[in-house]
């Protein structure tokens, strides 16, 4: 059913820390690894070892250079997957009801046996979170590893999305963002978590923690103020050499 | 956006077909018998041909019937229903006109309204998308409807109406291009809002997530072919509006009218190609491309 629920009991989602992400792409690999052999159609690759490889991924890591008004540029790695929006435009455009948002936990999923592969949901998503699988002709997207987080066959520490479980720098956090007492909600409150493209009105559940302010360069040597100033005008032989060379 | 030939053909041909049905339903021209058969055949071939061509871009067309289920939220689903309703009502009206030389006027009126509603639903598939600022505006359905009715008037041989409507659609097309060129900037979606990093400084894409291309870039960040867009706009306006109007102003002949129709069709195809090729999806910002 492509009508969005008016309310979801939980808002399961990710909190991604742009300060600690090192851009290793481990989350991309673990996501592809888990999701190509579990829920739904595999994530196919086309020409994987050839000259022009392409493939379906549910999670991708961009890297941006941000130039402040003063000081050096910052390099920020930016993982991006489905944000499981409260007002998900991808769901309402779906003509077949294949796309839906779950009432119990707010996860946005695709029922692949109903998907006709028209691609309109991917057009409606501002974040590029949906990719059509070129082999199966159905829309693929992040499931928040719905087949891990409730999976009682897995040890308890593995019952979180593959990307979160694998992240070596703890840049990814999973939890219920509707519960203001959850760890993720506290993290968002503490670090000033933000929405991507808020002007699109999608009300994303996933939040991004902005990079912490960087150190500045002016205090780099704490002994510097105690040292004698270096002579600015050369004297002696160097002074003579300097004047002579100036005259040439 | 990727200008897929199947979608361009679908929107142009079905737009023309439903435009012709609109005029036939209103009794312009008030045909019966064999000439009614000829007119309705052309209209149905265009409308249904367009609809069939739209299924060519589906990943799983064998499940296309499921697209009828979500009419409460989805314009694509509404379009499916409206096209079936329009074709059914017009079909009943056509049976009366062709076989019984009787035009059941109320059936035609309902059919005409449904034909326009179908074109409106088609246009709203694009017009609803906030992610493509160029499309997300009331002028998108307005132009789709006006082009459909103009092309329909041309096909229905309504010379006087066709001249006026074609001129009007030329003006609207120019307005659509002028306003559309500014809308992406107006909406205020930038790399800074996309990444949320704007309060640190100016954001530039340093490294993309993948070395090759992907579905998103192929489908939504189609930047090739915009190079000649200015020239194509002029060609499109000339073929879509100027030439057909000039031909209609000459003393009427079937040959000239046929040239006018073909010229209009070529012009609308060029316009629709530009509609997709020039449309910029906000997801491109994540790649630093529009």
Helix crossing, B139-155 with B105-127: angle to 10°? 140
| pLDDT at residue A218 in the model | 64
**CATH fold for the domain made of B5-56+65-287:** Formate dehydrogenase/DMSO reductase fold (1.20.1630)
More confident residue, B203 or A7: B203
B-facing residues of A in 126-165 (CB < 8 A) are 126-128, 131-134, 136-139
Q: Is B228 helix (H, G, I), strand (E, B) or coil?
A: coil
CA nearest B186 in A: which residue? A199
**A69 domain-assigned:** yes
| pLDDT at residue B112 in the model | 97
What CATH number should be reported for the domain holding residue A42?
A: 3.30.70.20
* Residue A234 pLDDT level (bands cut at 50, 70, 90): confident
CA nearest A128 in B: which residue? B283
User: Hey, is the C-beta of A57 within 8 angstroms of any chain B C-beta?
Assistant: yes
Chain A residues within an 8 Å CB radius of B187: 199
ipTM metric: 0.93
Task: Please determine, for residue A162, whether its predicted confidence score (pLDDT) is greater than 90.
Answer: yes
* Residue A1 pLDDT level (bands cut at 50, 70, 90): low
Contact B215 A53 (CB under 8 A): no
Domain coverage including residue A47: 12-209
User: Hey, is the C-beta of A201 within 8 angstroms of any chain B C-beta?
Assistant: yes
Lowest mean pLDDT among A150-154, A190-194, A201-205, B219-223: B219-223
Chain B residues within an 8 Å CB radius of A1: 70
Chain B residues within an 8 Å CB radius of A73: 201
Give residue-wise pLDDT tens across range B22-66. 999 999 999 999 999 999 999 999 999 888 888 888 999 999 999
DSSP alpha helix (H) spans, B128-158: 139-155
**A155 domain-assigned:** yes
* Residue A230 pLDDT level (bands cut at 50, 70, 90): low
| pLDDT at residue A231 in the model | 64
Lowest mean pLDDT among A104-108, A203-207, B117-121, B222-226: B222-226
Count of beta carbons in the 10 Å neighbourhood of residue A37: 9
Give residue-wise pLDDT tens across range B2-24. 988 889 998 999 999 999 999 99
CA nearest B188 in A: which residue? A199
What is the 3 state secondary structure string of chain A?
A: CCCCCCCCCCCEEEEEECCCCCCCCHHHHHHHHHHHCCCCCCCCEECCCCCCCEECCCEEEEEEEEECCCCCCEEEEEEEECCCCCCCHHHHCCCCCCEEECCCCCCEEECCCCCCCCCHHHHHCCCCCCEECCCCCCEECCCCCHHHHCCCCCCHHHCCCHHHHHCCCCCEEEEECCCCCCHHHHHHHHHCCECCCHHHCCCCCCEEECCCCCCCCCCCCCCHHHCCCCCCCCCHHHHHHHHHHHHC
The predicted model gives B233-247 an average pLDDT of 96
More confident residue, B22 or A233: B22
Task: Please determine, for residue A22, whether its predicted confidence score (pLDDT) is greater than 90.
Answer: yes
The predicted model gives B265-284 an average pLDDT of 95
The predicted model gives A115-126 an average pLDDT of 96
Domain count, chain A: 1
């Amino acid at each position: 059913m492509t009508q969005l629920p008016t309310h979801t009991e939980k808002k399961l989602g990710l909190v991604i820390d742009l300060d600690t992400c090192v851009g290793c792409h481990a989350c991309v690999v673990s996501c592809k690894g888990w999701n190509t052999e579990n829920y739904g159609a595999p994530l196919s690759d086309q020409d994987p070892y050839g000259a022009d490889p392409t493939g379906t991924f549910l999670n991708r890591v961009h890297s941006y250079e941000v130039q402040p008004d003063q000081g050096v540029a910052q390099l920020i790695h930016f993982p991006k997957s489905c944000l499981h929006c409260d007002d998900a435009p991808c769901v309402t455009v779906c003509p077949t009801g294949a796309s839906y948002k779950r009432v119990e936990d707010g996860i946005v999923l695709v029922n692949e046996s109903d998907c006709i592969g028209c691609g309109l949901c991917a057009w409606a998503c501002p974040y590029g979170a949906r990719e059509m699988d070129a082999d199966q002709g159905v829309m693929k997207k992040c499931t928040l590893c719905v087949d891990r987080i409730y999976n009682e066959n897995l040890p308890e520490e593995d019952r979180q999305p593959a990307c979160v479980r694998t992240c070596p720098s703890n840049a990814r956090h999973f939890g219920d963002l509707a519960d203001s007492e959850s760890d993720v909600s506290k993290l968002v409150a503490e670090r000033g978590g933000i929405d991507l493209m808020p002007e699109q009105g999608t009300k994303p559940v996933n939040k991004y923690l902005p990079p912490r302010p960087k150190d500045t360069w002016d205090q780099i040597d704490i002994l510097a103020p105690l040292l004698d100033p270096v002579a600015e005008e050369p004297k002696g032989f160097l002074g003579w050499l300097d004047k002579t060379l100036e005259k040439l | 956006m990727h200008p897929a030939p199947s979608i361009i053909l679908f929107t142009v041909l079905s737009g023309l077909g439903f435009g012709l049905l609109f005029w036939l339903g209103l009794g312009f021209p008030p045909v019966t018998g064999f000439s009614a058969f000829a007119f309705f055949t052309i209209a149905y071939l265009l409308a249904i041909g367009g609809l069939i061509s739209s299924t060519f871009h589906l990943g799983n067309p064998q499940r296309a019937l499921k697209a009828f289920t979500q009419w409460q939220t989805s314009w694509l689903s509404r379009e499916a229903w409206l096209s079936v309703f329009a074709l059914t009502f017009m079909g009943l009206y056509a049976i009366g006109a062709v076989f019984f030389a009787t035009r059941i006027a109320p059936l035609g009126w309902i059919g005409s309204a449904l034909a326009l509603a179908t074109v409106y639903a088609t246009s709203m598939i694009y017009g609803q998308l906030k992610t493509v600022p160029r499309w997300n505006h009331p002028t998108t359905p307005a132009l789709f409807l006006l082009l459909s009715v103009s092309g329909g008037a041309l096909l229905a041989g309504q010379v006087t109406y066709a001249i006026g409507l074609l001129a009007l659609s030329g003006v609207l097309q120019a307005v659509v291009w002028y306003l559309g060129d500014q809308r992406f900037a107006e909406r205020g979606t930038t790399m800074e809002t996309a990444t949320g990093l704007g309060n640190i400084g100016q954001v530039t894409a340093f490294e993309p997530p993948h070395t090759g291309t992907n579905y998103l870039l192929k489908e939504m960040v189609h930047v090739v072919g915009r190079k000649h867009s200015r020239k194509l706009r002029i060609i499109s306006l000339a073929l879509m509006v100027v030439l057909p109007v000039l031909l209609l102003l000459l003393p009427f002949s079937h040959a000239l009218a046929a040239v006018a129709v073909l010229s209009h069709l070529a012009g609308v195809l060029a316009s629709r190609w530009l509609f997709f090729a020039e449309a910029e999806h906000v997801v491109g910002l994540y790649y630093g491309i529009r």
